[in-house]
Amino acid sequence: MRKVEVVPYDPIWATKFNEEAAKLQRLFEAELVAIHHIGSTSVPGLDAKPIIDIMPVVRQIERIDDWVGHMEALGYRSFGEHGIPRRRFFAKGEEVRTIHVHMFEDGDEGVIRHLAFRDYLITFPDVRDEYAALKQQLASQHPDDIESYIQGKQDWVSATERTATIWYGSREHI
């Protein structure tokens, strides 16, 4: 059973992202379009579970299946799509997860959704702080139940993602 631990923002998360992103860049080379730090650890000032979320954007998602063995050699476990069509999800660490890799194909709506959410929280500190408070509350209510923690955030995250995606799309035209 995975513990739910939400801790204050730590600037070391950016360094950990850069270190792991460099390994993934070397592995995927020509298949890689971009690689992004996403999730709560990518938002300065946001309390988070200390798990680095990395989003490689690739040319063809199906090709990633050929690299599962290489990802396992780097310490990852493959979860396939893991509930999100056309995504490939990998995690490092069993009981204590340290890194999640969410791979999407270039142009997939999942890419925009993740970048919009991250950038929205960075731009609007009041929303970031509201999210931090919700996460702390849920972590204290469900310290041993990751599924209840995730479910407890779902409505807030979905509503904020919708707002963030509209905001993200409109600002590109300014």
Per-residue pLDDT tens for 20-74? 999 999 999 999 999 999 999 999 999 999 999 999 999 999 999 999 999 999 9
Report the pLDDT value the prediction gives residue 172, as an integer from 0 to 100. 61
For the segment 12-23, the average pLDDT, to the nearest whole number, is 98
Report the pLDDT value the prediction gives residue 95, as an integer from 0 to 100. 77
**Residue 173 confidence (pLDDT) above 60:** no
CA distance readout (Å), 164 to 22, 154, 157, 171? 28, 15, 10, 10
- What are 136-164's pLDDT values in tens digits? 999 999 999 999 999 999 999 999 999 99
- What are 80-127's pLDDT values in tens digits? 999 999 999 999 997 789 999 999 999 999 999 999 999 999 999 999
Ordered structural domains, the chain, with CATH: 12-171 (3.30.460.10)
Report the pLDDT value the prediction gives residue 1, as an integer from 0 to 100. 62
**Residue 3 confidence (pLDDT) above 90:** no
Q: What is the pTM of this model?
A: 0.94
**Residue 174 confidence (pLDDT) above 60:** no
Q: At what angle do helices 146-171 and 125-141 cross, to 10 degrees?
A: 170
